Structure 1
Amino acid sequence: MKKHLLYLLIFPLFLCCSKDENKRNTNPFLPDYSFSIIIDPDLPLYAELKTAINPVLITSANVGVNGIFVIKISDTNFLAWEANCPNQYPSECSRMVKLNNTTAKCNCDGLEYSLLTGVGGGNYTLKPYRVEILGTTIRVYN
């Protein structure tokens, strides 16, 4: 009896778990392009990243789907998000614009998203990218 009770308690845990953590973050609107960029905040182009909560939009070729937002949270914590609206296929209007230091807006549908949490309107949140601090530079990649 105890054995059956144990199985009943553990079985739901297996239903909730996924072998691939990324499946929960899969967005049908955004392709998964592989990229890596090294950012040097000492360069004038990225100097805003020296100040916390001051996002930079990077639209270099082959960086994300439609560019990326990078934001410094603290000296040891940076976040990076896809700049394409998470609920839109890539198009002329789907690159988001920075409204203020914590919010980006999609020009296609007018939805706003937090650059601190990725949460906003629509079915999908902002697509996060990995960030690695390498001395005085920052690597953003997926």
Structure 2
Amino acid sequence: MRHFWGCILLIFAISCDSDSTNRNPFLQEVSFRFDLNLNLPLYSGLNTIGNPVFVGNNGVGTRGAFVIKSGLDTFFAFEASCPNHAPNACSTMTIDGQNVICSCENYTYSLFTGQQLDRPDDGNRYYDLLFYRATQSGNTITISN
């Protein structure tokens, strides 16, 4: 029985990680909720898989959000501010097909996964896009954090 508890203690000790959070230090995680009506021309592009839309309304994230339809009933939403530096004049990213590009360093991120596609191999820590919840109810997509 002593060996059993020793093994359990060892498993807990090994599974502990000194980096307890994966939070991005550059972006605040603001609380918001915004509805997109797919019947409006501004958001009708979201009726097609792989067609991203920028939502730049006040109160939506830090610098807005990118929303993309990734499957029949699946939507993803991501923060529009580059996740690898503090928000500034060049940090609002732009859509390039199904990716977004930060004009500060020309980093490219996938809107299907949120991952940085051209991560430098310099030993520094780089962050992927900040994910927002996107749910569909009828013709309305709600993005929130």
More helix by share: 1
1:38 lines up with 2:35 in the alignment: yes
Unaligned runs of 5+ in 1: none
The structure 1 segments of at least 4 consecutive aligned residues displaced by more than 6 Å after TM superposition are: none
1:2 Cα deviation from its structure 2 partner: 2.8
> How far apart in 2 are the matches of 1:68 and 1:130?
11
Q: 1:17 Cα deviation (Å)?
A: 10
SS of 2:24's partner is coil
CA-to-aligned-CA distance 1:8-33 (integer Å, 9 cap, x gap): 234423x1599x8xx32x11111122
Measure how far apart 1:139 and its partner are.
Answer: 0.5
TM-score normalised over the length of structure 1: 0.87
Matched residue, 2:123: none
5+ long unaligned stretches in structure 2:
121-125
Indicate which of 117, 134, 139 corresponds to 1:136. Answer: 139
Q: Which amino acid aligns with 1:113?
A: Y
Aligned equivalent of 1:59, options 43, 56, 78: 56
Residue 9 of structure 1: aligned partner: 11
Rounded Cα–Cα distance in structure 2 between residues aligned with 1:17 and 1:79: 30
2:105 corresponds to which letter in structure 1? D
Question: Are 2:110 and 1:114 equivalent residues in the alignment?
Answer: yes
Query: What SS does the aligned partner of 2:42 have?
Result: helix
**SS at 1:138 equivalent:** strand
2:71 to 71, 74, 80: 74
* Superposed CA RMSD: 1.9
Aligned-residue offset at 1:110 = 0.7
> Following the alignment from structure 1 to structure 2, what is the Cα–Cα distance between the partners of residues 139 and 81?
13
Q: Could you tell me which amino acid in structure 1 is paired with residue 3 of structure 2? A: K
- CA distance in 1 between partners of 2:38 and 2:45 (Å): 7
The 1-side partners of 2:103 and 2:133 are apart by 25
> Partner of 1:93 in structure 2?
90
**Which amino acid is 1:87 matched to?**
N
Counterpart-to-counterpart distance in 2, 1:125 and 1:105: 12
